[in-house]
Amino acid sequence: MKIFYILLAFLLTNSAGAQTTPQDSVMLTRIYNEVLLHGECYNNLRYLCKNIGHRLAGSESAARAIEWGASTLLAAAADSVFLMPVEVPHWSRGSNEYALYEVTGDRIADLYRVQATALGGSVGTNGEITAQVVEVKSFDELKALGEENVKGKIVFFNKAMDPMLINTGAAYGGAYPIRGQGPSEAAKYGAVACLIRSLTLADDDYPHTGGTIYKDSIPQIPAAALSSVGARQLSQHLANYPDLKFTLHLSATAYPRTVQANVVAEIKGTQFPDEYITIGAHLDSWDIGEGAHDDGAGIVQSIEVLRTLVALGYQPKHTLRVVLFINEEFGNDGGKTYADSCAAQGLIHVAALESDAGGFTPLGFHCECNDVQLARFQSWKPLLEKFSLYEAKRGGSGVDIGPLKKEDTDRVALFGMRVDGQKYFNYHHSGNDIFENVDKRELELGAAAMASLIYLIDQSGLPASE
């Protein structure tokens, strides 16, 4: 019986694994040559970052980015480009936020200003809030303190990302709930404001923002992220001066939701025009920095996939779509709207690929797929490894394309590009996420890797099920 199952697995794998041809190797070499010699993604990123800047959903700069995305895709020779309306939140941090506290020792008072920035969606302070601080590292510690020790105070969550985890995404995931849920958890016990240690492995003075999630049944309190240096400094002073008073001022304001758009470009398939392969990234970014790695890099790489295949005269079998999603950061409205639209039209997706891990050196791809699709994907490993793309296994894909699985759990295979992300959270959601911190060659290698995978998917297709 054991021999039977081994033989069955072998047959399944080999029936799913389409063998690559010498022509495939030639095509991938042509793709890399085109991107590395004539690529436009680096200059496109420069324009996006320097001429448009940050692209917070709901903002005027996001609207300009949508216009730029549509015109750039048209210039890349897409068959058609259209805008898909998406309802998004509209929030502004304003122009006046600061944090400070005073420490008195040896009859000398020292004033410390702390680098801080409002979390996305935070309410403002309506003037200054000044209160004592209680420091915790977890929700359990907060619960143990109870309302009697928290009410009327500022809760400071001083939880760092785990530096022992080699996978920085896993380290981020371990600390993420504190940022998302911390303000409401603190408010449950009567806190008047919440401070979060920035989610970064860097030891610097850049605060990192990110969305927070208020619970409807709990009062909304102001919430801000402190830089890693500021958080360490505050923790040290609290150890010696537990009664120090902290002052926070946030000018954040929420406005009614508004309508913006996903940008969608198509190249029509020659053999299977009603079957779609989507390539995408999110056009929006947080409003500090320029959104270069998150996710300007993915945007220009996705556009470069289309430009490169057109430049090489490639005519796809399936219809290729490049989607510039709006509002991944503030609730994934763009991804949800796109999936709902595709479902309503009955569109069939073969696959989708997302780049949202920064413009760093590509390592390969992860896939959310069935066993037969995985086998075919892994049959391409020998060819991909010639271009230093060694990762080809199951794993997460991307937030924007994730909703496509909701309607078609077995048919569509979702791919996420994997990169060397050790430095990603140095820049993520911070004022340090600027064009100058993206390497041209690494960005271009990522674009070439994406175009190569799309070519292989288009040539062989991916089985819907076993």
- Are 309 and 454 in contact by the 8 Å Cβ rule? The answer is yes
- The upper half-sphere exposure of residue 112, i.e. CA atoms within 13 Å in the direction of its Cβ, equals 22
Task: Annotate 420-442 with b (16+ C-beta within 10 A) or e (fewer).
Answer: ebebbbbbbbbbbbbbebbeeeb
CA 146, 152, 158, 161 torsion: positive or negative?
positive
Among 275, 290, 328, 354, the one annotated catalytic: 328
328 is catalytic: yes
d(CA 139, CA 143): 6
Question: Would you give the distance in Å from CA 251 to the centre of its chain?
Answer: 26
Question: Is residue 31 within 8 Å of residue 312, measured between CB atoms?
Answer: yes
> What is the layout of strands, in order, in the sheet containing 318-325?
80-92, 253-267, 318-325, 272-282, 348-354, 413-419, 362-368, 391-394
Q: HSE-up of 314 (CA within 13 Å, CB side)?
A: 29
Would you name the residues annotated as active-site residues?
Answer: 328
